């Protein structure tokens, strides 16, 4: 049976400059880190973005066929699909495929997907509502002219973004994103500037549109200097991350 998803392509909704500016400047004065704890995250473990990006991809028979190129996140803060480059040794040559997260199996060495030389076309980038080929200035590219569909964003668009606190005060940069094994975002890890300790600190992810959205170069944290100063550094050694060495 064909694995194609028979759904229509959703066009990317481009926000106006005014709307983007308002969202970027917005902070949540009621947000608090008072009840925020790393304990559950440490206990649960999961997947580090820096390990997932570029991890090895295996076919249904366990053969290595490529690597993860990017990860698509839905508006409910979950992994929706991965984009992988596969097939360099196949007759079709290198190609990018999009595989829904429910079809991805986590293994000790990487991820396993049901893609073969014969069915690779069924996982084409543009055969679902995840990807649109429209040339939109508000999106970043994953490969050639590939842009995400409405309210779907690429993991690469958040990683390494500058991070700010309060009313746009420079704080550090986005060092990592941690996911549970079922693909839900657990936390966003910020590497703080030396002025704020120079360590890694993990924060709740507010979600798409709450201080950040694709196209922004800064991830705005809705906290003041007094709040971030009370947070303990995040200890990666306490986190049971898949593929950690």
Q: What is the CATH number of the domain that holds 176?
A: 2.30.30
Judge whether 190 and 174 are in contact, CB under 8 Å: yes
Domain C-terminal end among 125, 154, 183: 154
pLDDT, tens digit, 9 for 90 and up, residues 71-115: 999 988 999 999 999 987 777 778 889 999 999 999 999 999 999
Domain count, the chain: 2
Domain shared by 95 and 172, yes or no: no
Domain that holds residue 123: 54-154
Domain C-terminal end among 154, 176, 211: 154
Q: Which pLDDT does position 226 carry in this prediction?
A: 92
Domain C-terminal end among 154, 176, 195: 154
Closest-CA residue to 216 (of 125, 171, 154, 169): 154
Is 33 inside any structural domain? no
Q: Which pLDDT does position 147 carry in this prediction?
A: 61
Beta-carbon contacts of residue 21 (< 8 Å; ≥ 6 apart): none
Q: Which pLDDT does position 116 carry in this prediction?
A: 92
- CATH code, 80: 2.30.30.240
Give the least confident one: 12-26, 77-91, 115-129: 12-26
Domain shared by 114 and 100, yes or no: yes
Is 35 inside any structural domain? no
Mean pLDDT for the stretch of residues 11-19: 27
Q: Which pLDDT does position 3 carry in this prediction?
A: 37
Domain shared by 150 and 183, yes or no: no
* Full-model pTM: 0.81
Half-sphere exposure of 19 (CA within 13 A, CB side): 8
């Amino acid at each position: 049976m064909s694995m194609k998803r028979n759904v229509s392509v959703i066009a990317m909704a481009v926000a106006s400059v005014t709307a983007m500016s308002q969202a970027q400047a917005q902070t949540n004065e009621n947000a608090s880190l008072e009840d925020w704890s790393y304990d559950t995250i440490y206990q649960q473990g999961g997947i580090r973005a820096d390990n997932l990006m570029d991890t090895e991809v295996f076919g249904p028979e366990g053969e290595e066929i490529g690597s993860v190129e990017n990860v698509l996140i839905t508006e409910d803060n979950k992994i929706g699909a991965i984009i992988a480059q596969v097939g360099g040794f196949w007759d079709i040559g290198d190609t990018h495929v999009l595989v829904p997260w429910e079809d991805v199996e986590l293994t000790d060495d990487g991820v396993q997907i049901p893609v073969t030389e014969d069915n690779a076309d069924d996982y084409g980038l543009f055969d679902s509502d995840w990807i649109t080929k429209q040339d939109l200035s508000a999106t970043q590219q994953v490969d050639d002219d590939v842009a995400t569909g409405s309210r779907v964003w690429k993991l690469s668009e958040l990683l390494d973004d500058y991070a700010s606190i309060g009313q746009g005060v420079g704080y550090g940069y986005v060092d990592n994103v941690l996911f549970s094994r079922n693909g839900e975002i657990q936390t966003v890890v910020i590497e703080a500037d030396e002025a704020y300790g120079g360590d890694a600190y993990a924060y709740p992810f507010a979600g798409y549109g709450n201080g950040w959205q694709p196209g922004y170069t800064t991830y705005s944290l809705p906290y003041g200097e007094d709040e971030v100063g009370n947070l303990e550094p995040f200890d990666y050694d306490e986190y049971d991350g898949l593929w950690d060495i």
